[in-house]
């Protein structure tokens, strides 16, 4: 994950990293945040552990963040991506 995070950090810098509150996702989000020159803030949201896309998107729409990174779990991440693309 550390190597992948360094590669991601060369591509873009999120204004916010939103993570599931579950331990493994939170640890991954912390690794990602540490790869950026200026670590973006981390915020835990239950929606990323439950797959509640509508609630998560409503919350995100009220945030002032133009680039957001999500750290969550399967199958919810695939479902979320599908939801966003359709």
Maximum distance among all alpha carbons in the chain? 34
The whole model's pTM is what? 0.89
Can you give the pLDDT at residue 66? 87
CB 32 within 8 A of CB 83: no
Tokens of 74: 């399967």
| Residue 84: pLDDT band with limits 50, 70, 90 | confident
Cβ atoms of residues 30 and 23 within 8 Å: no
């Amino acid at each position: 994950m550390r190597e992948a995070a360094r590669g991601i950090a060369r591509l873009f810098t999120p204004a916010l990293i939103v993570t599931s509150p579950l331990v493994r996702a939170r640890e991954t989000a912390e690794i990602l945040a540490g790869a950026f020159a200026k670590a973006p803030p981390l915020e835990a949201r239950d929606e990323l552990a439950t797959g509640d896309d509508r609630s998560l998107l409503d919350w995100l729409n009220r945030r002032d963040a133009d680039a957001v990174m999500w750290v969550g779990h399967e199958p919810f991440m695939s479902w979320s991506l599908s939801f966003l693309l359709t």
